[in-house]
Amino acid sequence: MGNVRYYIVALNELHKSLFLEECSRLTVLVFDCLQKLEKNPTDLDVIERMVNAADVIRGGAKFLQDVDLEMNAKMLIELFKGVQDVRSRQMGFEMMSSRFRMLASKSHSKSYLN
């Protein structure tokens, strides 16, 4: 029984590590998309890529029980899903840029992964 429990804990830790790595990578991707949209606010491919990445982040954040990351991802999805021009959501755009800038910098410094 002890070996099975150890295996389950080890597997759970592996999954957490994988989800953390993926969320970190996608957080940086979302921030990069937000920066691109500052220059071209009607780039539908970038908007879609950003929303899809946020959707994956939301799922990973649920698994990791990271309420803050989940809330930020959910808010981004609600603000920009189906939007044709991010300027129509300027206040939300600025807020999400600020939040994901902070999250991306945490990802780069690896403090987010610890």
53-106 pLDDT, tens digit per residue, is 999 999 999 988 999 999 999 999 999 999 999 999 999 999 999 999 999 988
Does the residue 40 lie in any domain? Answer: yes
pLDDT at 35 over 90: yes
Angstrom distance (rounded) from CA 78 to CA 83: 10
Does the residue 114 lie in any domain? Answer: no
pTM listed for this prediction:
0.83
CATH code (residue 97):
1.20.120
- What is the band of 114 on the pLDDT scale with cuts at 50, 70, 90? very low
How many structural domains does the chain have? 1
Which residues span the domain enclosing 31?
Answer: 2-109
